[in-house]
Amino acid sequence: MLMDKKMTNSVITISPDIQSGSPVFAGTRVPVKSFFDYISSGETIDKYLEDYPYIRKEQVYSLLSLLGKILLKNMETIFHEDFD
C-alpha cells in the first residue's frame, strides 16, 4: 500500500516526505528502526539517547508501551501464523 498522506500520533510519524515514509519518532526525522538496531546489537537505551539527543526518554518508553500493546493484542494471531 502506498502512503499518500501523513499518519501521526504522539509517538510515531509516517509521511512520504520524511525518510521516504519510514516510521520516525514524532517531531523528528529519526527512524524508529534506529532504536531497534541499537537494542538488538546489545546497546542500552541510555546509549541510544546519548547518540540521538533529539529523542527524549519518554518517547522511547512511549514507543515500547505502544508496541507492547500492539503485540499483546495480536499475540494469538502472530503465534498462530508461526505454527501453521
Which residues of the chain register pLDDT less than 70?
Answer: 1-8, 81-84
Sort strands 12-14 and 24-25 into parallel, antiparallel or unpaired.
Answer: antiparallel
- Which residue has cell 503465534? 79
pLDDT at 4: 46
State residue 76's pLDDT score.
76
**DSSP assigned state of 69:** H
Phi, psi angle pair for 12, to nearest 5°: -125, 145
- pLDDT, residue 3, reads 41
Q: What are the extents of the domains in the chain? A: 7-83
Q: Which CATH number fits domain 7-83: 3.20.20.70, 2.40.10.10, 3.40.50.300, 1.10.10.10?
A: 1.10.10.10
pLDDT of residue 70: 86
Give residue 49's pLDDT: 97
Q: Are 35 and 63 in contact (CB under 8 A)?
A: yes
pLDDT tens for 2-26 read: 444 555 678 899 999 999 999 999 9
How confident is the model at residue 8, as a pLDDT?
60
